[in-house]
Structure 1
Amino acid sequence: MKLQHLLVIIDPSREDQPALTRARWIAQRCGARLELLACEYNPALDNALLLERGDLDTAQRNLLDERLAWLQQLAAPLRGAGLDVHCQVRWGKSLHHQVLLHCEQSTPDLVLKSAHHHNLLKRLFLTNNDWQLIRHCPQPLWLVQHGEWAGKNLCAAVDPLHAGDAPAALDHQLITVARELEQRLQLDAHYLHAYMALPHTLAFNAELLANYDNYVLRTEAHHREAFDALLAHYPQIDRQRTLLGQGFAEEVIPAYVKDHAIDLLLMGAVARGQLDNALIGQTAERVFEEVECDLLVIRPPETAT
């Protein structure tokens, strides 16, 4: 993954800009160019019945000019630190739609956006715009939880058995990105695969009940074999920082993030079915909103349309 052009989505409704803080951290380590984007829309300036079209256009331009000037103020200290920063504003409905249109035009290497977090629980809170970008953003999407950042550990959550119709190439893509970030940003990379055997209470026949312990052992062996086969492609990976975790992903992954002080979680987004709903299995929402770290979402190239 190249890190030459970072697109930072600026939220005019908040005083802090965690995504901008994170983008600055990245740019200072790899020399990336930053592009700050703010999107504006006010229905009162779109189709007012008692105003002329020309007056509406002038009002829109004035609002965008004000927003651009504000972006330039945000960019000033970054430029003072020697970073290459450009500012852009767009007018239009729905933030995610405008971001996607802009991505088509500017093709950034990485998109960073501030995500809300629950002040008491320190969890990610993903808005509809966040989920739409997870589903459709062709570039890697880095959702920044808050400004606090140790910048030491990342974790790639992989699925070597490709549950949830995940393409086989996605795990390799996640590992490749994790290793690149490890090298370029000096992060220690961890690798995790969570699996869950069928619970005893859901065993559906007498034979399975009678041999349940053996079934659990065979399930573990099956997943371990697949996990080991995936990691075998990357002999440079430190096996001390890999884990095959037994349990539901929405429990195993957040627990690992907390226990190992993970700063950035990498997960793959896969479009499933005609609803084009980006999921990893059926537990993505619970995983995303339970973790206490930033989230980097990677989509396989064949679905990045």
Structure 2
Amino acid sequence: MNLKHLLVIIDPTREDQPALARAQWIAERSGARLELLACEFNPALDNTLLLEQSDLERGRQSLLDERLAWLEKLAAPLRQAGLEVKCQVRWGKPLHRQIVLHCEQSQPDLVLKSAHHHSLLRRLVLTNHDWQLIRHCPQPLWLVQHGQWRGERLCAALDPLHASDKPAALDHRLIGVAREFEQRLKLQAHYLHAYVALPHTLAFNAELLADYDNYVRRTETHHREAFDALLAQYPAIDRTRTRLGQGFAEEVIPAYVRDNGIDLLLMGAVARGQFDNALIGQTAERVLEEVECDLLVIRPVT
């Protein structure tokens, strides 16, 4: 994945801008240029029944000019630090649609957006706009936590058996991004595969019940062999930083993130048919609401 052009979504409703801080951190290590984007919409300036079209256009432009000037103030210290920064504003709604349209036009390598944060539980709280971007953003999407950024470790959550209908190439892309970030951003890369055997209470016939312990062992072997086969294609990966976790993904992944001080979790977006271009899936949705770190969502290359 290239790191030459970073699109940063600026939230006019908040004083802090975690996504901008994270983008600066990346740019300082990669030499990427930054593009700051703010989207505006006011329904009072979208009602042609009450005002002339020319008056509405002047009102919209005035609001956009004001927002652009604000973005330029945010960009000033970054430029003084030697970074290349461009500022853009758009009029329209909903937010996620405007972001997707802008991505299609500007073709950034990475999109960064601040996610909401629960001050007590330290969890990511994803809005509807976040979920829509996960489904439809054509570029990799980095959702930024509010918490302090250490920038030390990342974890790629892999699925070598593709139980969630992911194409096989997606795991390789996740590993490729993890390795590139390890080299260019100096983030120590970890790799995790979570699996679960059918619980004993859900065993559906007497034969399975009678041989349940052996079934559990076979399940572990099956997943371990698939995980090992995937990792074997990358001899440079430090196997001491790989983990096969037994249990539900929504429990295993957040626990691994917490116990190993993971700063960035990489997950793949799953193709789910004609109605949702990239739906993470119910299990992973629960994972995302529990993790205590930044999230990078990678989609398959189409």
TM-score class, shorter-chain normalisation, is over 0.9
What is the Cα deviation at residue 285 of structure 1? Answer: 1.1
Q: Map 1:162-201; keep pairs closer than 5 Å.
A: 162-201=162-201
What is the Cα deviation at residue 47 of structure 1? Answer: 1.2
Matched letter for residue 209 of structure 1:
L
Q: Does residue 45 of structure 1 match 2:49?
A: no
Residue equivalent to 2:100: 100
Q: Secondary structure at the match of 1:300?
A: coil
Residue equivalent to 1:211: 211
Q: Is the 8 A contact 1:8 1:35 kept in 2?
A: yes
Residue equivalent to 1:76: 76
Q: Secondary structure at the match of 1:164?
A: coil
What is the Cα deviation at residue 264 of structure 1? Answer: 0.1
Q: Is the 8 A contact 1:151 1:263 kept in 2?
A: yes
**CA distance in 1 between partners of 2:23 and 2:133 (Å):** 18
Residue equivalent to 1:117: 117
**CA distance in 1 between partners of 2:92 and 2:288 (Å):** 28
Residue equivalent to 1:8: 8
**CA distance in 2 between partners of 1:37 and 1:180 (Å):** 26
Residue equivalent to 2:152: 152
What is the Cα deviation at residue 147 of structure 1? Answer: 4.8
Residue equivalent to 2:249: 249
TM-score by length of 2: 0.98
What is the Cα deviation at residue 114 of structure 1? Answer: 0.2
What is the Cα deviation at residue 117 of structure 1? Answer: 1.1
Residue equivalent to 2:259: 259
Q: Map 1:55-70; keep pairs closer than 5 Å.
A: 55-70=55-70
What is the Cα deviation at residue 257 of structure 1? Answer: 0.1
Task: Tell me which stretches of 4 or more aligned residues in structure 1 moved more than 2 Å.
Answer: 277-282
Q: Which has the higher mean CA deviation after the structures are superposed, 272-281 or 119-128? A: 272-281
Residue equivalent to 1:128: 128
Q: Is the 8 A contact 1:22 1:147 kept in 2?
A: no
What is the Cα deviation at residue 270 of structure 1? Answer: 1.1
Matched letter for residue 63 of structure 1:
L
Identity of aligned residues (%): 81
Matched letter for residue 47 of structure 1:
N
TM-score by length of 1: 0.98
Residue equivalent to 1:22: 22
**CA distance in 2 between partners of 1:274 and 1:282 (Å):** 17
Q: Is the 8 A contact 2:26 2:32 kept in 1?
A: yes
What is the Cα deviation at residue 51 of structure 1? Answer: 1.2
What is the Cα deviation at residue 291 of structure 1? Answer: 0.1
5+ unaligned residues in a row in structure 1: which ranges? none
> How big is each residue's C-alpha offset from its partner over 1:11-64, in whole Å with a ceiling of 9 and x where there is no partner?
000000000000000000011000000000011101142211111100000000
